[in-house]
């Protein structure tokens, strides 16, 4: 984050990628079955740095990976729904900006299936509304071309 604040964006991307690799290696060496917050935060920083330098498609890939990590590592924790929806929002927004509308649609539909299987009240109506508006606006623009 310091490199990014100094305007050294390309170095910040490299540093974030190295952090993700280092954390994964450490988790693998420890035989961890759960990735945890550290990797999720590192992936978030990496995706943000990629987005900042205009590598939106790569940022979308990292965001999709982040969604999978949230699902795998934190799904049964109380804050996982909010974290998952925030990650999905970022991922879908980046997918749309990188021109991957079909993938955006598939990503959101799959997330809806997963969320519907949750037994707890998740207060997700607002999130789905926002994601639906994003899809509809993008699909409408695409079909008019």
56-96: pLDDT as tens digits: 889 988 888 877 776 666 666 666 777 777 777 888 888 88
Neighbours of 111 (CB within 10 A): 23
Tell me the chain's radius of gyration from C-alpha atoms. Answer: 16
Nearest to 101 by CA among 66, 137, 74, 73: 137
pLDDT above 80 (res 143): no
Distance, in Å, from the CA atom of 90 to the CA atom of 44, rounded to the nearest integer, reads 10
CATH of domain 2-144: 1.25.40
Distance, in Å, from the CA atom of 104 to the CA atom of 53, rounded to the nearest integer, reads 21
pLDDT score recorded for residue 120: 59
137: confidence class by pLDDT, cuts 50, 70, 90: low
36, 28 Cβ separation under 8 angstroms: no
Distance, in Å, from the CA atom of 60 to the CA atom of 97, rounded to the nearest integer, reads 9
Domain ranges of the chain: 2-144
140: confidence class by pLDDT, cuts 50, 70, 90: low
Neighbours of 21 (CB within 10 A): 12
């Amino acid at each position: 984050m310091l490199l990014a604040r100094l305007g050294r964006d390309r170095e910040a991307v490299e540093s974030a990628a190295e952090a993700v690799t280092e954390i994964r290696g450490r988790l693998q060496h420890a035989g961890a079955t759960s990735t945890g917050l550290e990797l999720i935060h590192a992936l978030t920083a990496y995706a943000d740095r990629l987005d900042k330098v205009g590598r939106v498609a790569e940022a979308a890939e990292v965001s999709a990976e982040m969604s999978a990590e949230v699902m795998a590592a934190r799904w049964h924790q109380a804050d996982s729904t909010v974290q998952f929806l925030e990650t999905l929002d970022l991922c879908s927004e980046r997918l749309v900006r990188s021109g991957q509308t079909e993938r955006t649609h598939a990503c959101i539909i799959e997330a809806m299936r997963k969320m519907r299987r949750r037994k707890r009240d998740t207060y997700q109506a607002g999130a789905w509304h926002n994601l639906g508006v994003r899809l509809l606006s993008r699909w409408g623009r695409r079909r008019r071309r």
